[in-house]
A and B are shown apart, each in its own frame.
Chain A
C-alpha cells in the first residue's frame, strides 16, 4: 500500500468575502460613477467570488484628487509618524495573514503553501522594512532631506497581487507620497482587503486609494495629469505603451516587466539542490513569475543525469486544489493566460522541441496546465525567446562558461539568472558577465525587502526593494 496523502484543505471560513465591493477613494468605498461592475472568479473552480466596481475615468480623477489633497498633510508629517502608520500596517498584515493567504489563493489560484509561506510573510516584511526608512530618509544616500514626488499612480499584476501592492505602496508611503493603485483585473480582492487594513491602522483618508478595473482604468490612471509618478509591473508590451504615454511629461516612471531567466547549471553543481532550484525556478507560482528561471542552460557533460533527476523530481509534484496544504502547483490565473501558455507550448512542439510532462490528473473545472519541460530547444525557438509565463521550462545545453554566458545574455530581457556551481570564482565571474538585474547563485527565486529587484534591458528600469527602492519615490 502506498503512502497517499489524504486531502488537507485549508479552511475557507477564515475569510469572509462580500458579494460586492466598491472603489476605495478618499477613505471610503463607493460605487463606480457609471455603476459598472465586473466579476472575479476563482481560477481553480471558475466559481464567482465577488463583483467589483469597474473604475471609470471620472473615478480615476476623483481618486487622484483625493490623493493630491491628502499629500499635503501626509508629506508634512514627521517621518517618525509615517513610520508608525506603516509599522501598524505591517503588524495588522501579520495578524491577518492566514485570512489574506486564503483570500489570495482563492482569487489567484496559487497554492496555499505559497501564499502562507512566501507571499504573506514577504508582504509584512516589506511594510516593516520601509516603515523603518520613513524617518531615516536623510540617511539613505539621497541628500540630507529628500522630498517625495507627490501622487503615485501604480498598476500591478495578478501573479503576486498583495506582494506587488506592498512593493508599490510601502516605499511610496514611507517617502511621503500618496498613491492611487490599480490591482489586476483578475485579482482585485486582496487590494480591497488591504483598504480595510488601512482603515484599521487609522491611515489618513486619501493616502491610499484603490481602483479596481481593467486595462482602460490603468491607462486612464497613467495618463492622468494629476499624478507625478507612474510605477508599473506587468508585461513588456504594456510597459512600452506606458513609456510612450508619459513621454514629454514630468512624470517619473519605473517599470518592472517581463523576463526569460537563464538558470545555468555547471557540471560541478550541487546536483540535488540544483534540481530543487530548477523546480522552484519554473514551477513556483505555476511559472507565472517575471523572474522565473524559464530557460535551463545545462552543461552537456551532465545533461542526461540532470534531466533524469529533474523528471524524477517533477513526477512528485502535486498538482491540484490550491487550498490543499500539500499542493505544489495550483491553477493558472485565467483562461486568457492558459490560452497563451497553451499556444506557446504548442509552438515548441511544432518547431521541433521535445515535450515531456509527468503523468498528472488535472481537475475538470478551472484553468490548469501540467508542469512541462521541452528538451532539444535551440536559441531560435519561440519557447527559448518569448516569455511564456507558465509552468513550461525550455532546456538548452552549453559546453563552456563563455558559451553559457553568451546564450544567457542572448535575450531582449535581463531580469534574472541562476548559476549553479560549487566553485566560487566561476560563480562570481559568470555573475559579473550576466546582463540581468538579479543573479541567484546556488539558489533561485529568493526575495527580501532589503534586496533591490529589477531588470536590465526590456525587463524594465528602476529597482524595488532595499535602499535603492526609495529612489523611485524621492525627488532625486
Chain B
C-alpha cells in the first residue's frame, strides 16, 4: 500500500445538466452500514426542488420531441458509460448497502442491463400501447401513447442504484423528464449516476438528482402545480398518503409505493405508468362524389 493521501470527492446535486451545491448551503453526513463516515451529501431545500422542476420542464419539449430511436441510443449510451465506471459503482453500492463486493457487483450489473432493457423499449412502447381502432364509420382512428410530462420520483430507500435506475429509466424512456429524490440514507450512488448521465448525451434537465430528507423535498414536489406525476416508491405509507393528498390538487398521476423485487424482471408497469393516450380521428370519405365501388 502506498501511503499517498487520497483525494475526496465533493458530492453535488445534478440539476439542469449542471452540478450545483444545494441552495441551502447545507450538507448531511452519509455513513456506511457500520456507521463509518463516507461523505457529506447536499441537503436539498424546497428551492432546489423548485429549480429542478424548472429544469425538467425546460427539457421536456426537446426530450419528448426527440425521436424514440434517438432516446433509445442515448439510454444505451448510459449503459455503456455505466459499464465503464463499473468498479466505482460496485464500491459505492457495497458501502451504501453493506453488501459484499460480489453482491454489489450483481446489483451494478443488473442496473447496467436495466438501462439496456429500457433503451430497447423507447421505440416499442407505441407498438404495444397504441394502435388503430376500427370505429364504425368513415374515419381513420389511431391511438398513441405520449409522455405525461414532468415526473417527480422518490427513489427506493433500500436499493441505492438498481432501485434508482429501475424508477428513472422507464420514466425517461417514455419521454418524460424527472426530478428524482435519492435514497435518503444512501444518496452517493445516485449522485454519481448524475455524472454518468452528464456524459451520456442525456440532455441537461431530463434527469435531475436531489439528495436530502425525502419528506422535506417530496412535499413541495407533490404540491407543485407544474409537476404532472409522482412516483412514491421511496415513501413510507404515512408519507405516501400525505403526498397523494397534496398531489390531488392538480390531479397528478400517482404511482403508489408497493413491495418490489428490484432484481426481478421489471415488466412494463413503470413504463406505462406515466403515459397519456391520444386518439386522433380523421375522415376517410369515399373516392368520388357519386360513391365508388372500388
Contacts and interface: CB of A to CB of B under 8 A. Distances in A.
A433 B294 contact: yes
Contacts of A424: 282-283
Contacts of B284: 425, 428-429, 432
A28 B120 CA distance: 31
B268 interface: yes
Nearest to A81: B113
B127 A80 contact: no
B124 A136 contact: yes
Contact of B123 (A132, A134, A141, A409): A132
B20 interface: no
A135 B265 CA distance: 10
Contacts of B268: 139
B292 A136 contact: no
Nearest to A450: B123
Contacts, number: 83
Interface stretch (B50-58, B69-77, B152-160): B69-77
A400 interface: yes
B128 A80 contact: no
Interface stretch (A123-131, A286-294, A322-330): A123-131
Interface string A419-430: 000001110111
Interface residues of A, number: 34
Interface in B152-183: none
Contact of A129 (B117, B123, B286, B294): B123
A405 B286 CA distance: 12
Contacts of B285: 425-426, 428-429
A451 to B, nearest CB: 10
Please tell me the size bucket of the interface on B.
20 to 34
Given A139-B128, A425-B282, A433-B294, A405 B287 contact: yes
A87 B116 contact: yes
A83 B119 CA distance: 11
Interface in B235-288: 268, 282-288
Nearest to B123: A450
A81 to B, nearest CB: 9
A430 B116 contact: no
Contacts of A401: 287-288, 292
Contacts of B140: 428
B283 A136 contact: no
B120 A136 contact: yes
A133 interface: yes
Given A80-B113, A87-B76, A424-B282, A400 B120 contact: no
B72 to A, nearest CB: 7
A428 B282 contact: yes
Contacts of B128: 139-141, 467
A348 interface: no
Contacts of B124: 132-133, 136, 139, 450, 467
Given A128-B69, A402-B292, A430 B117 contact: no
A93 to B, nearest CB: 13
A87 B288 CA distance: 49
B11 interface: no
A83 B294 CA distance: 45
Nearest to A121: B69
A48 interface: no
A466 interface: yes
A467 B116 contact: no
A406 interface: yes
Interface string B113-142: 100110111111001100000000000100
Contacts of B292: 401-402, 433
B121 A406 contact: no
Contacts of A449: 123
A252 interface: no
Contacts of B76: 87, 128
B37 to A, nearest CB: 37
A131 B294 contact: no
Contacts of A125: 69
Contact of B116 (A83, A428, A429, A466): A83
A84 interface: yes
Contacts of A428: 140, 282-285
Given A128-B72, A128-B73, A135 B120 contact: yes
Contact of B294 (A133, A135, A402, A426): A402
A467 B120 contact: no
Contacts of B283: 424-425, 428
Interface of A: 80, 83-84, 87, 125, 128-129, 131-136, 139-141, 400-402, 405-406, 409, 424-426, 428-430, 432-433, 449-450, 466-467
**Nearest 8 interchain pairs by C-beta:** A132-B120, A425-B285, A428-B284, A401-B287, A425-B283, A402-B287, A402-B292, A467-B127
13 contacts: A80-B117, A125-B69, A128-B73, A132-B120, A132-B121, A132-B124, A139-B128, A424-B282, A426-B285, A428-B284, A429-B286, A430-B287, A450-B124
